[in-house]
Amino acid sequence: MDQAPFLTMSNICKSFPGVQALKNVDFDLRKGEVHCILGENGAGKSTLIKILSGALREDSGVIRVDGKAVTLDSPARAHELGFSTIYQEFNLCPNLSVAANMFLGEEKQFKNKGLIDKAKMRSKAKEYLTKLGVEISPSVRLSSLTVAQQQVVEISKALSRGAKVIIMDEPTASLSGEEVERLFETICLLRENGVSIVYISHRLDEIFEIGDRITILRDGTKVKTLESTKEIPREEIVALMVGRKLEDWIPKIKTEKGKEILKITDLNSEGKFYDINFTLYEGEILGFSGLVGSGRTEVMRAIFGADPYDKGTIWFDGKEMEKNNPSKAIKAGMYLLPENRKDQGLILLLPISQNVTLPRLSLVSNIFKISKGKEREAVEHYSKELNIKTPTIRRLVKFLSGGNQQKCVLAKGLFSRSKLLIFDEPTRGIDVGTKAEIYDLINSLVVEGIGIIVVSSELPEILGLCDRIIVMKDGTIAGELERGHATQEAAMALALGEGGIN
């Protein structure tokens, strides 16, 4: 690897109303390296890379490419310099083919006598996809691809435009374990070809596996750049990130199993899930494990009434629940904290305070109107408990960092004082420090006798938290594991089906 950096950012500052997101941050990039950025929620990671991708403008500081100062005043300019960003919400058109997506806006290179030579476009697209070692047909519609495959199309698109730097902000958030491995193979290939990667993730294991260097941010300042990821103890990195030592795991608290709170019998939804039967008791944490796409989220949405189902019964707190009626479910004392916080969990244009109290306005209302004082008191309590980074709870949710938005969804669920809380991927995008706090909170909720379901793709999380684990595969329940007998291997074997891992 060429040791001298070709890109340097020095003394970068960026402020938003009430927050200085970046304070004199230095960052540099070498050719063909994977440079990871680590930091707690709200540390400034996304802001830094948005400046690099031309989406935000720095207030002050200098950016140099090959020694020359550059102005990144638009995404187009960043593209010209070879910087491409793979966003979580892809910039792709679902109804167009893979090839058309790859060359969107660049079609003129395939023009032949005024017409676009589609065959040529497809074969060029195939060339880039093959370079990345993937079998995706250039002629299929984008919407028929999995999230992981769409990501590969985004990367190919970046390469076809001559990207020298590919920036990835939490690229693995919705990928399964196997898909993550495949993404890593792609990243290694890019690195071998001299492409540099800026990589943001909260999963330390990933950083250790794929990263060459690590830059750690804390509260908008750069703490340190580590020259290697080898032989650095995890605790040391975590301490640099959070500025204190952290207990690695919250011990499991023993609780009394109470009465039956939820009973699902023969729940079916054509094409989504089949023959779902299970029971949950008060004071119990039930985990749902399985591969991405195994039907876990769909089952939870049906239970909460967010989606219809074909047949089966949902008994909640002794009563049969109405189909497809989430507001009744909330009134009855059930709450679902969705995985897709931006689309389903929050109203981005409302302040934190109103988002949090929305599920149960009655809790902060006097007879006729909402009491602002009660609202403030309740929301400030949860904001403090979950360590939501914001100058005020009146801030619009839109302006929070990704992880802090996730915390708002959690605050909603906690505020609603439900008897049953369903957490779908509760710690996705959440930093290590807060993760421990969330586990602690979940534990204190079950002690109070609430029933809890946790859907998670992170096996250690499920194994650590839950009393029982249901493993799903292809829309059905593949098996159930009791705490004490549940191991990573046993859960994986069920999730993958007969034959286990091979």
Query: What is d(CA 219, CA 134) in angstroms, rounded to the nearest whole number?
Result: 39
What 8-state DSSP symbol labels residue 244? Answer: S
Q: Which of helix, strand or coil describes residue 494?
A: helix
As measured in angstroms, the least distance from the Cβ of 220 to ligand ATP is 7
> 14 and 47 in contact (C-beta within 8 Å)?
yes
As measured in angstroms, the least distance from the Cβ of 168 to Mg ion is 12
Closer residue to ligand ATP (CB): 98 or 216: 216
Residue 43 contact, options ligand ATP, Mg ion, none, Cβ 5-8 Å cut-off depending on partner type: ligand ATP
As measured in angstroms, the least distance from the Cβ of 36 to ligand ATP is 13
Q: Which of 7, 12, 21, 330 binds ligand ATP (CB under 6 A)?
A: 21
Q: Is the dihedral angle over the CA atoms 352, 354, 360, 366 positive or is it negative?
A: positive
Q: Interior CA angle at 89 toward 83 and 94, to 5°? A: 105
Q: Per CB under 6 A, does 420 bind ligand ATP? A: no
Q: Which stretch binds Mg ion (CB under 5 A): 140-148, 184-192, 368-376, 397-405?
A: 397-405
Q: Which residue is nearest to ligand ATP (CB)?
A: 403
How many chain residues are in contact with ligand ATP, going by CB under 6 A? 18
User: Residue 259, CB half-sphere, CA atoms under 13 Å: how many?
Assistant: 5
Closer residue to Mg ion (CB): 297 or 401: 401
Q: Which stretch binds ligand ATP (CB under 6 A): 13-21, 244-252, 469-477, 484-492?
A: 13-21
Q: Which of 211, 403, 426, 475 binds ligand ATP (CB under 6 A)?
A: 403
Q: Is the dihedral angle over the CA atoms 368, 370, 372, 375 positive or is it negative?
A: positive
Q: Which stretch binds Mg ion (CB under 5 A): 190-198, 258-266, 394-402, 461-469?
A: 394-402
Residue 47 contact, options Mg ion, ligand ATP, none, Cβ 5-8 Å cut-off depending on partner type: ligand ATP
Q: Per CB under 6 A, does 278 bind ligand ATP? A: no
Query: What is d(CA 303, CA 325) in angstroms, rounded to the nearest whole number?
Result: 10
Closer residue to ligand ATP (CB): 311 or 398: 398
- Other CB atoms within a 10 A radius of the CB of residue 247 amount to 8
As measured in angstroms, the least distance from the Cβ of 136 to ligand ATP is 29
Residue 283 contact, options ligand ATP, Mg ion, none, Cβ 5-8 Å cut-off depending on partner type: none
Question: Which x/- pattern, by CB under 6 A, does the window 353-392 give for ligand ATP?
Answer: ------------------------------------x---
Residue ranges in 34-93 that form contacts with ligand ATP under rule CB under 6 A: 39, 41-47
Residue 195 contact, options ligand ATP, Mg ion, none, Cβ 5-8 Å cut-off depending on partner type: none
Q: Which of 16, 181, 266, 500 binds ligand ATP (CB under 6 A)?
A: 16
As measured in angstroms, the least distance from the Cβ of 46 to Mg ion is 3
What 8-state DSSP symbol labels residue 253? Answer: P
Strands 111-112 and 60-65: unpaired
473 forms beta bridges with: 476
Q: Per CB under 5 A, does 402 bind Mg ion? A: yes
Query: What is d(CA 490, CA 289) in angstroms, rounded to the nearest whole number?
Result: 11
Q: Which of 402, 426, 451, 475 binds ligand ATP (CB under 6 A)?
A: 402
Q: Virtual CA dihedral for 315, 320, 325, 331, nearest 10 degrees?
A: -80
Query: What is d(CA 385, CA 411) in angstroms, rounded to the nearest whole number?
Result: 9
Helix (H) or strand (E) holding 276: strand 273-281
Closer residue to ligand ATP (CB): 47 or 289: 47
Backbone angles phi, psi at 187, to 5 degrees: -60, -40
> 276 and 264 in contact (C-beta within 8 Å)?
yes
Residue ranges in 24-63 that form contacts with Mg ion under rule CB under 5 A: 46
Q: Per CB under 6 A, does 19 bind ligand ATP? A: yes
Q: Residues 370-383, buried b or exposed e (16+ Cβ, 10 A)? A: eeeeebbebbbebb
The rounded radius of gyration (Å) of the Cα atoms in the chain is: 24
As measured in angstroms, the least distance from the Cβ of 302 to Mg ion is 31
Q: Interior CA angle at 232 toward 226 and 237, to 5°? A: 70
Q: Interior CA angle at 435 toward 432 and 436, to 5°? A: 95
Residue 42 contact, options ligand ATP, Mg ion, none, Cβ 5-8 Å cut-off depending on partner type: ligand ATP
Residue 207 contact, options ligand ATP, Mg ion, none, Cβ 5-8 Å cut-off depending on partner type: none
User: Residue 148, CB half-sphere, CA atoms under 13 Å: how many?
Assistant: 18
Footprint of Mg ion (CB under 5 A): 46, 401-402
Footprint of ligand ATP (CB under 6 A): 16, 19, 21, 39, 41-47, 389, 399-404
